[in-house]
Amino acid sequence: MANERKTETLVRSHFEKYTDIIHIEEQTSDNAKIDKLLKSASKKGSGKGRPEFLITFSGNSDLLIVIECKAETTKHESATKDKFSEFAVDGALLYASYLSKDFDVIAIAVSGQTKQQLKVSHFLQLKGERKPVSIFGDKLLSASDYLDGYLKSPEKFRQDYNTLLEFTKELNETLHSYKILESQRSLLISCILIALENKAFKAAYPLFGATNANDSSESKKEKVENASKELANYLVDTVSNELKSANIKGDKLDNLNIQFGFIRTDTSLSTKKDVLKNLIAEIDKNINSFIKTHEYFDVLGQLYIEFLRYANSDKGLGIVLTPPHITELFSDLAQVNKNSIAYDNCTGTGGFLISAMKKMIENAKGDQEKIKEIKKNHLIGVEYQSHIFALAVSNMYIHQDGKTNIINGSCFDEDIIKEVRSKKPTVGFLNPPYKADKKKDTDELEYVLNNMECLVDGAKCVTIVPMQSALAQSGKVYELKKKLLEKHSLEAVLSMPDELFFNSNVGVVSCIMVFTAHKPHPKNKETFFGYFKDDGFVKRKVQGRIDAYGKWTTIKQEWLTYYLNRKSKPGFSINTCVTAEDEWCAEAYMETDYSKLSKDHFLKTLKSFVFINELYLKHNGTNLTS
């Protein structure tokens, strides 16, 4: 005879092993907020909801686990998921829909009366979101595994990242009100983040300006007046010592000290009461906590992008920082592993290197000696601009190493080329500066050639460049295309979304090129072309271009499947032979996928033709069909 109490006993005994970090309640909760949310959550349509178990975490008040049990595995889940009182999944999801108004909820459905037959389903429904997503597997996990999996889930990352962007906007407005220059804002943040790695600084900074009852009024006034200046000096001194301890010396350290030096003298930071102290506290709470939860993410790069969205001060420098989902894609395209040595000759804030580090460390699978070696020797970068170099070093420091192999200088300098070559990089990444002046500025493909000059034979180089570089059939860019094919093999060209760089306020249409270094391109070799125009991202007024619907993970897997297997699909990808004289883009060679054509496509094409024909008639006096 079916007995649901047996199922509950199995679940209870499983979770009771972890009461050092969780609190288990049954049917009802002493937490007033939880109790209120369940008041109208009855599985029968009216009255109070009474789930089998409610689990809270002592170290994370945002997360709640709700568990619904059924004795028979045949009552695990209905086809429609709306038979709340009859099926475990249905009931668990019902409770999650109510509880997610104020909590992030892991809903667990359990059925079966023995350990052997136990059936388990997990769902994650984040606060304020309408739909739950399937997560974890089909077995009960430890409490720490639930917490860790939740914190590192793509859904939680998306939620936290959106919150980070909202905070960044507020922070930008605050820094603007203090008249801190746009170009200095990211430096200030990076300086604070490095200092917060120092335990003594983190404990001491809140005490600056503090007074006690025995102080005279004059003494109190003096303490308050001196506190801001002392904190500014302490902040910069702490960072300088931290970098020195990290084996950053000589010109590198001098340059970094110069870049952070403005903090000592800035009027708002060093003279106004509690301005710097409050900034440090807010950054620790909102940015540092994000970094600790979501490791190996180019936070400083994203902050820099957000600050520049309101300034445009670096537009003339051709700075176009690569979105983080694309820096991660690069590592997948190059198939980075624990033995890879990655080189970026246009490092920027270090986004490509941080994504490569993440992939290498994942592949090391906990081998601490290998991870130490990766951080010390497998990440190489060159950055020309001093203030961006400071951000790159800071970024690498925050992510625990790699900073000693970031070089400040020109990637075309012979001594730098020699130094990089000696490290034998096996993977090249770059997003070169985009030309503002076509006649004077270095062409993007010259940076690509420079990168591959430093790589070992057979290394993969992945770059993202303006589409014009792929389309050129004459002039300097055409000659550079010829040179590329004479020395290296063109493996793939992937057409990117038109508004990929929307967050950088740059309207450039781009493509990713993948090369094999020092292997001349054979005439009969086919190149893979992908029409990868839809990455699932959408534009939002405050947040910019984001993965609002969580589509990217699935889309990326499809892209990689077609790229790695060189699969052709009408309207999406094709393999074909090309020369320097040809256009290097999928659009030039793809077959039309007629199954996707609709009446709307037909009408849109007709309207475009009518519009163009009217323009032609107006300027030339004849129809296009004449």
What does the pLDDT read at residue 315? 45
**d(Cα 257, Cα 265) in Å, to the nearest integer?**
13
Q: Does the domain formed by 4-151 have CATH 3.40.1350? A: yes
Domain edges within the chain: 4-151, 157-288, 295-527, 598-626
Please, is 357 exposed, middle or buried when counting C-beta atoms within 10 Å of its C-beta (0-12, 13-18, 19+)?
Answer: buried
Homologous superfamily (CATH) for 295-527: Vaccinia Virus protein VP39 (3.40.50.150)
DSSP 385: S
**d(Cα 95, Cα 125) in Å, to the nearest integer?**
10
What does the pLDDT read at residue 349? 85
The Cα angle at residue 543 between residues 541 and 545, in degrees rounded to 5: 85
- Phi and psi, residue 407, nearest 5°: -110, 135
What does the pLDDT read at residue 425? 98
> Please, are residues 318 and 433 in contact by the beta-carbon 8 Å criterion?
yes
Residue 552 makes CB contacts below 8 A (sequence gap 6+) with: 325, 535, 536, 537
What does the pLDDT read at residue 435? 78
pLDDT lower than 70: segments of the chain: 1, 45, 211-225, 308-319, 400-404, 437-438, 505, 542, 592-626
Q: What's the token pair of residue 171?
A: 């922070």
Residue 541 makes CB contacts below 8 A (sequence gap 6+) with: none
What does the pLDDT read at residue 586? 95
**d(Cα 111, Cα 117) in Å, to the nearest integer?**
8
